[in-house]
Each structure stands twice: as C-alpha cells, then as structure tokens.
Structure 1
C-alpha cells in the first residue's frame, strides 16, 4: 500500500515539475502575443486617426492577429531552442561519461563571457547612442543574458567542486532575476517591433485602400458623412426618405462598430468613418473591382 502511495506521489511530483518548467514560458508567450497584438493595433489606429479602444478587440482577437506577424520569428525561436537543448544534452552526456571535462568548462566560460559581453555592449549602445538603436537590440540583449546564464549553469555542472551547498542558496533568486530580466527585454522589443509594424500597416492602407471591399451605406436618417469623395444621394420618397452614401471602403467590423475608409484615403487627409453595426443602417459590400 505504501509503495502504491509512493508511486502516486512520484507521478504527481513529475507532473508538477513539468508544469513548473512549461508553465512560465507558456504564460510569457501568451502575454507577449496579447501585448504584441494590442501594441500593433494601437500604433496602427493612432496613425489612422482614431483610438484603439473603439475597435473593441477581445484577447482572442489580439492573439489571432499576432500569430501571422510572429509566425516566422516563433519558428526561428523554436529552432534555436531545439539546437540549444541538443547541445546541452550532448555536453551533459559528455560530462557524465567523464570525457572532455576541461574542454566543456572552457566552452562554458567562453559562452558566459560572450553572452555577458553582448548584453553589456548592447546596453551601452542604447545608453550612449539611443538614436542609432535598432528594433532588434532588446532581443540581442535578451539572447546575451540567456547565453551568460547557460554558460554559468554549464560551468557549475562541469566544475569539480560538487559540494551539495555550492552556490545552492541564491540559485532560485538568480533564476527569478534572469527570467524577469529576459521577460522585460522581450516585452520591450515586442513593443518597438509591434509599433513599427502597426505604423507600416497604416501606410499600407494608404497604398492599397482601392483594394478594400466597396461599401454602400443606406440609412433612414441623414448621417452627414463629410469625408472626401463620399457621395450622398436621396433615393426614397417624399414621405419616406432613404439616404445613400457611396465612395466608401470596408476597413473592419469589430466591437459593434463598422469602420470605413473613403476613396482616395491618405494618412495626412483621410478620415475613418465609424458607424454602428445595427439595423439603423444597411450596408451593401462588393468586390473592389465593382463600382
């Protein structure tokens, strides 16, 4: 009976260990996806002249809008993680077998020094020459911190000093500090990259607004849309007015609102028309080629 209980406790312990390893990175990845989606949308909305809160995107919407932009970086990150895991496993096997311990220690010191130098150099560049800072600098700094932490860990494991209390005290705090620092750097880099991408998307709408679906708005009440190139026609009878607005393009439908651009929309002089998504207006959509 005690053996079964011990086996069950061991299984639960392994499950908790797996959650402890997977949980924090998965939480950070999800938070980064949400933050990236919000920062990109916020920069795009500001460049186009309205506030991001009008869109009313949910957390799921932000994550789904982040994945296409982050697909390639995430693939490269996973490839780098697999290569790191394979290298660490190989070196661990060599150390366990007692082979090339000195070489492994030298390699660990080299990795630790390279990672620390990379992190410090990028930090100095950002302080001394902030105008020359590139979007990927926070990611380079985060990679340097991770390399330094891995080199230190590898050096400890390959060290001949294997006492049970050797640097055991601060390791939990050390991991927490490294994890926190890398997380902050990732959010920093994500904010810069997302804002740049959001502004680029706003510019792309200026270049391809003519490729958006056409929208013809019908309303019983006069809407008074004053955007350029928007034509207002009265198509109803004298007793039952019906107003028609043409020259509009569909941008997005979200948060109970319909966002429209006018023909010839530009960042400098363009206006975003926002209408309620309810039966008070009727909208006919068409292909960009149709008039």
Structure 2
C-alpha cells in the first residue's frame, strides 16, 4: 500500500464551502429583493387590513412594497444578527464543554435532555400545524416551536458527535448515511420554521405600525376636502359644511388624514379613528375635487 493510500481522508469542507454551490444558484440581490417584496407585502397587507382596506384594492407599486419591506425586515435583521451572536456563544460553550473527558457524563445527559426537549417541541409544532391548538393561542408559537426543535435536535446531535470524536472508547453512533439524512431534515425544518416565523412577524409588525399610526394621526397633516357633489354617508368624526350654491366646490369635509394614494385614488381616514365604527373614504383624485393640507400643530417625529 502506498503512502498516499495510507493517508487520512481530508477533513470535511466548511459549511460555507458546502453551501456555496446552492447559494450560487440564486443571485444575492435577487433573493434580497424577493424577500423584501414578500415581507413588505405581508407587513403592508396587515397594516391596511387594520383600517379595513384591502391591499389588492389599493394596488401599491413595487417600489412602495420594497419600501415597506425594508421597514419590516430591518427589525428582523437586527434580531437575526443577535441570534447568530447568541448561537456562536452557545457553540463556543459547547466546544469548551466537550473538551474535557471528565465532563463526558454531563455532556451525555445534556445531549439527551436537548434531544427529548427538541422532540417535545417538534410534536407540539406538528400538533399546532394540524389542529391549530397552541399553549398561548398565538399563531407565531407553532413556527417558533418548529425552529427551536430543529436547533435543539441539531445541537444534541453535535454534542454527541463531539463527545465521541476524541475518546478511546467510542460511543454508539448511527450510520453516516443516517446522520446525513438527519442533518438534511433538520436543516429543512429550520429553514421552514425561520421563514414561517419571519412571515408572521412581518404581519404582526404591520399591525403594530397600524396601531401606532392611529395613535399618531393627530400629528399628521390635516386634509380639507372640497367636492362638487356631496358624499353620502361620510365616516364618523368627519365634519361637513355646505358652502352654498355659488361655490363650484360647495361641499367641504374636515377632520381627515391621508392613509395612502395609489392609482389616482385617495384613501382618507378620520382623525378620530376607531376600528369598530370608522371607515376608509376612497376618493378619485380628479378635477372634481380640491384638497387643502393643514400643517400639524406639533411636528411629527417617529422614534
């Protein structure tokens, strides 16, 4: 047998090197743009749904969705970065944990505890997916359980393998093919849970922004609407004044704020908005109307 044949097999490639061919299939800019559009759509849909306006009716442009997407993804990026830092710290603690043979028993029990906890979370996620029943009755609980179960099961497997790596008496390990299959399945569960969690978080963020907008409506520029024809059944909280027949735009409406403008239409809401009694006023932005904008009494600065 030659010297080359007796050499050990080369070490496995890093994760980034193994994922490079997969990442190369989709250009990073295309992926980022698609994610911004998707999460922007979900966030904006939840935001306008709070006001009772369907996003398909508003028909925002792609640029608007990208803008809302960047707003929604910004918080997610910060949380994800912090999660990566936390994961790196957990990984370093695990490396220290398995470096000393005297801690083998503790490592083994920790691995088993993570295994059982991960399986319990996985069962809970599957129950939530099938029945919709969760402990807190919040929809985000199911994808979070799915994501955390994949992380715990993967960390449990890694601890067991790392404990066995430098020991004279190897522990029982499943066949390499089974280990690769488990890794692949856990990666799929992790990506699915992460994507699902981000989607629900975008919707929750959009709704929270809508609630924030309602609280800040008084600090937005006011809208005085003048029309040639009277508007029947105006929303509650909107003041109406008839200026007389001599006026071309004789009907004046006060107490409105601009929610959105798209496709030549104005979506106006009363300043005293209530989700139970208020409605969105949709006006065609044409020569039949006139608008006057009133500066807010206090400057609006979002913090």
TM-score norm. by structure 1 comes to: 0.67
Distance 2:22 2:112 in 1: 25
Residue 168 to residue 265, structure 1, CA distance change in 2 (3 Å) = same
Deviations 1:95-133 (CA, angstroms, capped at 9, x unpaired): 8xxx53674796376246425514524743846953633
Q: What residue number does 1:189 align with?
A: 197
Distance in 2 (CA, whole Å) between partners of 1:215 and 1:47 is 21
Aligned partner of 1:78 in structure 2 is: 81
Alpha-carbon spacing, 1:86–1:268, altered in 2? closer, same or farther (3 Å): closer
Alignment pair present for 1:152 and 2:150: no
Question: Between Structure 1 and Structure 2, how many residues are aligned?
Answer: 269
- Offset at residue 214 of structure 1 (A): 0.5
- CA shift digits 1:223-282 (9 cap, x unpaired): 6253232425457857x5565433311122345432111243311111111223455544
Q: 2:266 aligns with which of 244, 247, 258?
A: 258
CA distance in 2, matches of 1:23, 1:94: 38
Q: Unaligned regions of 5+ residues in structure 1, if any? A: 1-13
Greater mean deviation of Cα atoms: 178-187 or 275-284: 275-284
CA RMSD of aligned residues (A): 4.4
TM-aligned CA deviation for residue 151 of structure 1: 2.9
1:133 aligns to 2:137 (yes or no) = yes
Q: Find the aligned partners of 1:199 and 1:83 in 2 and give their Cα distance.
A: 28
- For 1:37 and 1:92, the matched residues in 2 are separated by 39
**Secondary structure in 2 matching 1:85:** helix
Change beyond 3 A, Cα 1:264–1:185:
same
Question: Residues 237-276 of structure 1: matches in 2 within 5 Å?
Answer: 237=246, 243-276=251-284
- Report the alpha carbon displacement of residue 199 of structure 1 after superposing the two structures with TM: 4.2
Counterpart residue number, 1:6: none
**Which has the larger share of helix?**
1
Equivalent residue of 1:159, what SS? Answer: helix
- The residue aligned with 2:3 is none
Question: Distance in 2 between the 1:46 and 1:62 partners?
Answer: 15
The answer as to whether partners of 2:260 and 2:267 remain within 8 angstroms in 1 is yes
Q: In the alignment, is the contact (CA less than 8 A) between 1:215 and 1:250 conserved in 2?
A: yes
SS at match of 1:186: helix
Q: Against the structure 1 CA distance between its residues 181 and 57, is the aligned structure 2 distance closer, same or farther, given a 3 Å change threshold?
A: farther
1:61 is aligned to 64
Change in CA separation of 1:84 and 1:209 when aligned onto 2, cut-off 3 Å: closer
CA contact (8 A) 2:52 2:279 kept: yes
Q: Does the 8 Å contact 1:209/1:263 carry over to 2?
A: yes
Q: Secondary structure at the match of 1:169?
A: helix
Question: Any idea what SS the aligned residue of 2:177 has?
Answer: coil
Q: Structure 1: how far apart are the matches of 2:181 and 2:62?
A: 32
1:44 aligns with 2:47: yes
